[in-house]
Chains A and B, each alone.
Chain A
Amino acid sequence: MGSVRLYAAVAAGSFRRYATYRVATAAGVFTNTVFGLILVYTYLALWDERPDLGGYDQAQAVTYVWLGQALFAALAIQGGGFENELMERIRTGEIAVDLYRPADLQLWWLASDLGRMLFQLAGRGVIPFVFGALFFPMALPGDVGTWAAFLVTLLLAALVSFGIRYLAALSVFWLMDARGVMQALMVTGIFCSGMTLPLNAFPDALGDVVQALPWAAQLQVPADVLMGESAPLGAFAFQAAWAVALLAAGRLLQSAATRRVVVQGG
């Protein structure tokens, strides 16, 4: 019970920490709204040419855009969450201090990242989404059940997102330089999460592949549940399977990595 309180405190601290950057949050809201506008117009033109592309109608395509902008910062889709800090701590060796703490490394960072996500969802996500709903026709469900299912997919998406970035961060134990890893996170995140185009609108075989990868759990799956395109239970199963696999892989890599740590005496 005591440890639950510890991780809750870590999450709350992280939430508060991000909440102090008020101007940066407002600036982020502005940027996400601008990018959402640009994307909405391109999608509308695209769906004008090909109505029903990927099984979406125009309202669904618009909803997808604004959901992507709402989740972009929260799920750190192109990176930029806790992992930057962890990679820096591994690179500088400060990680040795973290390993002495009477807390689990993975849970500690998960709690901290969940706190960050929660703030960025509320602080940076809601306004662009509401803006989109006010000025563009969107396909939003009217029943509470679908919204509840959507919230579950968001939580699972958060776990998958964390799982991917934790693995990426731990790789710095071997690579030493984080820049390549961060670039890889950006490329895979933007492309495979469907930030450029919904994954179901990708051409045939490529579409099948990206929809089976874990990145699909971050934007495509929550969007499809919200818009009633896929059944919640199947969606939960897909996300949960990836979350478990990634978190377990993170555990394994963590124990391999921490055995490598050599504390240099001063």
Chain B
Amino acid sequence: MGETSRLVDGVRAYLLIAGMWIRAGMTYRVSFVVTVLGNLLLSGLDFVGILLMFSQVDSLGGWTLPEVAFLYGLSVTAFGITDLLLGSSEGLGARIRDGSFDTLLVRPVPVLAQVAADQFPLRRFGRVIQGSLVLGWALFAVDIDWSAPKVLLVPVMLVSGAVIFGAIFVAGAAFQFLAQDAAQVQNAFTYGGTTLLQYPPTLFGKDLVRGVTFMVPLAFVNWLPASYVLGRPYPLDLPTWVTFLSPLAAGVCCALAGVVWRVGLRSYRSTGS
């Protein structure tokens, strides 16, 4: 019961803080629209890169453009949702360094909710829009023999993908308690992760694929389930049923990230300035 009410508290606090930042952001409407468009353009750059590559070749690692676009759309949309909701946690290290983190601790509101909603950047919605547009196009363009489980897998991938990325964001934020100006390490896993997943697994070395399947389970965001949807063999010769394990992987990641966050928070020592 206690856990549930804490969760409700956290979500309510998150919504209130995010709402405040949204109202603040809306003060300058033109500026807001321009930054959303800018973000849309920025997050679209890597897809432009993929289009440029496909202007020179017909397939990459044996995958066609619509298939790569399918991977891309799934990865970017899932990541975009998480980046919108939790991306602000990147700034935790800066708050620890300048001492303003202490003010978050004395408020009667879960710290994680405050950190995640801090400066809530609605402009990051641009990435979600851009990812969904590519995904929408890919769903039309790709040659799939649709069945009920395949159709169902698409929203499951997006939700579990977002949760897996969320766990990485939280774990990364916890790591910042330890190394206060290492936000870049978090970027390697978050931005690096979503970039990696935009390309077919056939491109990468076996060890790298093993690493992102069993250690940081990024492969569950799209590689494994998308291989099933597209009817492609998975490079590590894993059985077909792993396709459906994404929600489980997401749950485990979440639990682990929660533990890491608590350990990190408990180890926090104020700068005292």
Residues of chain A having any CB pair with chain B under 8 Å: 21, 23-24, 26-28, 30-31, 34-35, 37-38, 41-42, 44-46, 49-50, 53, 177, 179-180, 183-184, 186-187, 190-191, 196-197, 201-203
Contacts and interface: CB of A to CB of B under 8 A. Distances in A.
Contacts of A177: 28, 31
A179 B35 contact: yes
Interface stretch (B1-9, B56-64, B102-110): B56-64
B88 interface: no
A23 B180 contact: yes
Interface stretch (B39-47, B163-171, B248-256, B263-271): B39-47
B-side interface mostly? helix
Given A31-B187, A177-B31, A183-B39, A46 B199 contact: no
Choose among B46, B59, B195 the residue with the greatest number of A CB atoms under 10 Å from its CB.
Answer: B195
A53 B199 contact: no
Contacts of B204: 38, 41
A191 B187 CA distance: 20
Interface of B: 28, 31, 34-35, 38-39, 41-42, 45-46, 48-49, 52-53, 55-61, 179-185, 187-188, 192, 195-196, 199, 202-205, 208
A196 B192 contact: no
A186 B39 CA distance: 10
B179 A38 contact: no
Contacts of A46: 53, 56-57, 60
A187 B39 CA distance: 10
B60 A49 contact: yes
Contacts of B49: 196-197
Nearest to B202: A45
A191 B203 contact: no
Nearest to A184: B38
A26 B180 CA distance: 12
A38 B192 contact: yes
Nearest to A39: B195
Contacts of A191: 45, 48
A183 B45 contact: no
Contacts of B55: 203
Contacts of B199: 38, 41-42, 45
Given A27-B182, A179-B35, 9 more contacts: A34-B188, A34-B192, A35-B188, A38-B199, A38-B204, A41-B205, A184-B38, A187-B41, A201-B56
Contacts of B52: 196-197, 201-203
Contacts of B195: 35, 38
Contact of B181 (A23, A41, A180, A183): A23
A41 B38 CA distance: 29
A146 B25 CA distance: 52
B182 A42 contact: no
What 5 A-B pairs are tightest by C-beta distance, nearest first? A196-B49, A27-B184, A183-B38, A27-B182, A49-B57
B145 to A, nearest CB: 26
Choose among A26, A41, A53, A190 the residue with the greatest number of B CB atoms under 10 Å from its CB.
Answer: A41
